[in-house]
Amino acid sequence: MILLDIALGVMALAMVAAVVRLVTGPTDADRVLAVDFGFIVMVGSIALLAIRRDVSALLDLVLVATLVGFLATVALARLVRGRSPARPGPSPEGPALGAPDARSSEEA
């Protein structure tokens, strides 16, 4: 039990670090990372509490929160990517339909 209490204390310190990064983060990407890290710390804390209190229903909550957290991370990453300035180079989706491929011009 003492080890679980120490782990919960470490989780509390990690949450403080996430909040500090959320407040002081100079960019939106830093803030998104802090929110994601804080969510992971919260889910880990709930898992530790489930073990400490021997409540298996909390583990179901951890499972659902993990799935929701993954979807939120993907959505926030797309949001931050949409706000970042456009970088030169090929688009991540690949060449547009009908556009010549760079490899085909080298082979010809």
Write down the pTM of the prediction.
0.72
Q: What is the pLDDT of residue 107?
A: 56
Write the CA distances from 82 to 2, 25, 79, integer angstroms.
46, 18, 5
Q: What is the pLDDT of residue 28?
A: 87
Q: What is the pLDDT of residue 108?
A: 52
Mark the ranges of the chain whose per-residue pLDDT is less than 50. Answer: none
Q: What is the pLDDT of residue 95?
A: 59
